[in-house]
Amino acid sequence: MKDYLQDFARFLAQTGALFFAQGLRLKDGRATPYFVNLGQINTGRRGLALAGFLARMLLEEKLVDEKSVLVGPSYKGSALACLVAAALWLEARLEVPFDYDRKEAKGHGEASGRENLFVTGALQQAGQRGGQALVLDDVATSLATKVELLDKMKAQAPEVAVRAVVIAVDREQTQPVHDAQGRLVENVKGPDAVKAFSQRTGVPVRAVAPIRAVIEILFRQRVPVKIDGTYRPLEQADKDRFDAYMAVYGR
């Protein structure tokens, strides 16, 4: 187990970024007993703490160097890319540029005569110096938004190779299943979301924290977690509910 994983698990619980509640649903419509909302990391102290975990992982796994560019998908990923760039400077005096995509292309100002799909220009500059990109985001579920971002990156800077998609928390989950009419079919295990993404794009996915490991740490160490609005340690019934969910939707 990585040294930072236990600290990160406690950080997720203490900030309320990881919580359990009744009636939760994912973006794809599936019911879930828990959710990870890194939008809760909304102060400078919390933001730098979160970025520090990602920076340590990038450095330990030797995924980042001075030719890298960090790219965050809007919206949460944009703040994350900025914070991780700052953390890399603080941790290792490694100056790494960052960029993030626009929801609408810009065609005025410095982008006059062309359309800019990204904000800072660092992605295109990385292509000029033979750099590689790391895509940073908060959580991986179906990874559909990451596919959209990679398409934008290829359109804006086709010469930049994407080394990896790096996420804070991996839900270790399969893709949703739909019937012939496109309606969600619940309680059916779909294809492995990460495997399908990597096969489609050729880009590996790396995570700071797999959700099974996070829950196991919190359960065994009796760390208080926000459950239905109240902080308390996970009980066996909570753990059983999580395990049952992963038996159906986990990969």
* Active-site annotation holder among 67, 103, 108, 152: 108
Distances from the Cα of 50 to the Cα of 80, 101, 115, angstroms = 9, 21, 33
* Active-site annotation holder among 106, 152, 178, 239: 106
Is 178 a catalytic site residue? no
Is 106 a catalytic site residue? yes
Rounded Cα distance, 141 and 157, in Å:
26
Rounded Cα distance, 90 and 78, in Å:
19
Q: Say if CB 205 and CB 170 are below 8 A apart.
A: yes
Vertex 241, ends 235 and 247: CA angle to 5°?
A: 135
Please report where in the chains the tokens 């959710």 appear, as a residue: 35
Rounded Cα distance, 23 and 235, in Å:
19
User: What distance lies between CA 230 and its chain's CA centroid?
Assistant: 26
For strands 116-118 and 98-106, give the pairing. Answer: antiparallel
Q: Which residues are catalytic?
A: 106, 108
